Amino acid sequence: MNASRVLSEAEGTSAGGHALMTLTDVHAYIGRSHILNGVSFDVTAGQVTTIVGRNGVGKTSTLRSILGLMRRTGAIRLDGRDLAGLETHEIARLGVGYVPEDRDVFHGLTIAENLRLAERRGTAPDYDRVFELFPELKTRAGQRAGTLSGGQQQMLSLGRALLNENRLLLIDEPTKGLAPRLVREVVDTLARVASSASILLVEQSLAAARRLSDTVVVLSEGRVATRGPAAEILADEASMRRHLGVGES
């Protein structure tokens, strides 16, 4: 057992389950700007860990650092394996699914092609699960993703990540910019997915975060301000106002 694991468990942040992913003193950079200033936390297997914080504190950068999409230092371990030096596609193949902030579906490709692209060699794609969660992806298979609504694109982006049996899902602001009805729908779906997956979520909506999270990590200026069980952290209204700026949403 390595030092970081000992440390994080000694601090007692992870309740139940083992630490699926451990971030230890992660620093990340964009050009000359220092974006993450030593971020450390665990993602517990089988749980939803949610990162909250104001715009620009490094939430998206944390996910991108995990995927090796940013220049970073520090240790990031998945099931004990250090991801340092691995390239993005290698990290993804270890079983990391990514649903980016702007959905990033491929606009010029059809839904079917978007999904086909996500198939990984060596593992059988689980189309049944995807079509059960999002029947529309089947009925609109031939439609270009660029012509889909925001909600539909979000479903496609989620479906793309769920096509494979991933160990960890990185989901970035899945409800951003969606109509309230769609927000409910997406949150419901995520709740279903969460019952059988480990998720590291970035979420601005406190309501959604409350509904989905087991553990919450609050980021502030590139550092972890506080972390702990979701019920506890999200209930502290003063702290939430301080760290999120806005109150309820």
Binding site for other proteins (CB under 8 A): 28-32, 35-36, 55-61, 64, 67, 69-71, 87-89, 92-93, 98, 100, 104, 106-109, 113, 116-118, 120, 160, 164, 222
Q: What are phi and psi of 221, to 5 degrees?
A: 50, 50
How far is the C-alpha of 176 from the C-alpha of 242, rounded, in Å? 21
**Alpha-carbon separation of residue 97 from 88, 118, 211, 235 (angstroms):** 11, 10, 21, 30
Distance of alpha carbon 232 from its chain centroid, rounded? 21
Of 168, 217, 171, give the one whose Cα is nearest residue 26. 217
The CB-of-31 to other proteins minimum distance in angstroms stands at 6
Sole residue written with tokens 């089988």: 46
Which residue, 29 or 127, has its beta carbon nearer to other proteins?
29
Q: Give min distance, CB of 186 to other proteins, in A.
A: 19
CB of 118 to other proteins, least distance (A): 5
Nearer to other proteins, 187 or 224 (CB): 224
Q: Which is nearer to other proteins, 92 or 234 (CB)?
A: 92
Q: Which of residues 172 and 214 has its CB atom nearest to other proteins in the complex?
A: 172
- Among residues 87 and 126, whose Cβ is nearest to other proteins? 87
Least CB distance to other proteins at residue 129 (A) = 17
Where does residue 20 rank: exposed (0-12), middle (13-18), buried (19+ CB within 10 A)? Answer: buried
Smallest distance from other proteins to CB 216, Å? 19
